[in-house]
């Protein structure tokens, strides 16, 4: 093989190796950053509920804070791949308006 041909083969091998490595990194990053659709939907529902009650000021601030911290625990469970646990944590949040609590 000539020196020029040898250099072209090396460049080609390096290019292919970089492309493969890049694809592997992208696949790993995509897998690490995915959130199951069920978790994302439940998260959006809870965020909206917390914001709505916060704006209406019909739920005590400490109850809204507890709901937000519970939501963070649910997010972490979903991120860790414990989807069933995460969904159960989301479902455990109960926000009752003050007038309903007084009964």
Q: What is the pTM of this model?
A: 0.63
Instruction: Report how far residue 68's alpha carbon sits from residue 59's, in angstroms, rounded to the nearest whole number.
Output: 13
* Domain extents in the chain: 1-34, 37-101
pLDDT number for residue 75: 95
Q: What is the mean pLDDT of each run of 10 residues along the chain (103 residues)?
A: 58 59 50 77 95 91 93 96 96 81 48
pLDDT number for residue 2: 62
Q: Assign 60 to helix, strand or coil.
A: coil
Instruction: Report how far residue 57's alpha carbon sits from residue 77's, in angstroms, rounded to the nearest whole number.
Output: 29
């Amino acid at each position: 093989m000539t020196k020029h041909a040898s250099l072209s083969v090396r460049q080609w091998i390096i290019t292919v190796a970089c492309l493969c490595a890049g694809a592997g990194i992208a696949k790993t990053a995509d897998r690490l950053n995915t959130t199951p659709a069920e978790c994302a939907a439940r998260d959006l529902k809870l965020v909206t509920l917390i914001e709505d009650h916060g704006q209406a000021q019909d739920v005590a601030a400490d109850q809204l804070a507890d709901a937000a911290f519970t939501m963070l625990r649910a997010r972490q469970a979903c991120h860790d791949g414990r989807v069933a646990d995460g969904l159960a944590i989301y479902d455990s949040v109960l926000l009752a308006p003050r007038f309903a609590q007084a009964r």
